[in-house]
Amino acid sequence: MNEPDRITREKAYTGPVIDTAIRIGVIALLIALCFNILRPFLSPVIWGIILAIALYPAFRRLSGVLGGRVKWASAIITAVMLLAIILPSIKMVGSLIDGTKYISERIQRNEIKVPLPPDNIDTWPLIGKSLKSVWYEASADLTATLTRFQPQLKAMMLWLMKSAMGTVVGLVQFAFSIIIAGILLVNVREGGIMARALFVRLAGERGADFADISTKTIHNVVKGILGVAIIQALLAGSGFLVAGVPAAGLWTFLCLFLAIIQIGIFPVVIPVIIYMFSSADIFTAGFLTGWLILVSLLDNLLKPIILGRGAPVPMLVIFLGAIGGFLSMGFIGLFVGAVILSIGFKLFRVWLDDLSYPNTSDGSDNFSSEKSKAVS
């Protein structure tokens, strides 16, 4: 083979490879640039999409009542969401910031008195003896105890202040997400077609089934987990504000956090009740106690009604999603992380079930039955 023929043959092989590499590089660069531009809006947009999917049943019923006026239905739902969630949350955030400052100032002025530890504290496993000495020291001289733990306390207060400011930013993002959800609801038909086409493009012929599972998971998690947590936190926060509990916003935020990660609000409710009985009148303390106990048990009533039998995903998935989302995205990540990880878990389970149950002898497969199990 002479030299010109060899060069021509090499060009015939290398030319298409170089062209393909250049195209892939340009596409990758374009995707990276688009992601970099949209990164500040990524969390609100994702949460807006989740809200739009969760609110779609209510939107469909309302638009039917309004004679098919989708814009009016979307505007009403958006306004109700903003008024029902954002305004109380702004009040709670203001109280959160004030409460954090209040606790810090009282500690600095040595106005917080620590009662003596219980007599049986020695019998507590692992921490009893060490906790007893620290507790006695704090009850005798709180200032000296706080001075000894000053680095840890400064770090904790700094974290609380950052969390308070992050919550403010998160509420702004939350409001932006609600507006995005309203816009998406107006264009819900086109958006649904695009989302289904994307799932089909990514997952092949079963992409439509995966889209249905994702939608069902979003409905369950948003209504059964996040919705109940928000209701509990707002009701508990209302009780704190009416009873005049100091730092009501801080305790409300902790209630929301604990309710989302499925621990429950009792770890906040019990200390608040003890404090109110020691500092407030018996009527206020008794009323708040009854109210908080009722709110604490509310999830046992609402979750079975909304979810039916069982949770949409294991509690550990919700826990990891909420914690990881909060650490990576801030306040709004509490909600987004739990939903995204739940969707991933559901799709992963369906994918595993699909591999575990291959085609049957008559040529059909068990995907539909497994999909229905995963959805239910």
Number of domains in the chain: 1
In a domain, 80, yes or no: yes
Q: What is the DSSP string of 191-214?
A: HHHHHHHHHHHHHGGGHHHHHHHH
Give the global pTM.
0.61
Using an 8 Å Cβ cutoff, are 326 and 333 in contact?
yes
Residue span of the structural domain in which 259 resides: 44-114+150-375
SS3 181: helix
Asked if residue 27 is part of any domain, the answer here is no
Residue 17 falls within a domain, yes or no?
Answer: no
Place of tokens 């995204």: 340
What was the pLDDT predicted at 282? 85
| Total residues belonging to the chain | 376
Measure the CA–CA gap between 104 and 98, rounded to whole angstroms. Answer: 10
Looking at the domain assignment, is residue 295 inside a domain?
Answer: yes
Is residue 192 domain-resident?
Answer: yes
Per-residue model confidence (pLDDT) at position 29: 92
Query: Which parts of the chain sit beneath pLDDT 50?
Result: 360-376
Please check whether residue 26 lies inside any domain of the structure: no
Q: CA nearest 344: which of 324, 317, 309?
A: 317
Whether residue 121 lies inside any domain: the answer is no
Q: Is residue 14 part of a domain?
A: no
Q: How far lies 59's CA from each of 74, 122, 136, 180, in Å?
A: 7, 59, 58, 14
Q: Residue 258: is it exposed, middle or buried by C-beta count within 10 angstroms (0-12/13-18/19+)? A: buried
pLDDT of 242 reads 85
Please write the tens of the pLDDT for every residue from 40-69.
788 788 888 888 888 888 888 888 888 888
Give the pLDDT score at 365.
44
Residue pair 305/223 in contact by the 8 Å Cβ criterion: no
- Cα(285)–Cα(355) distance, integer angstroms: 57
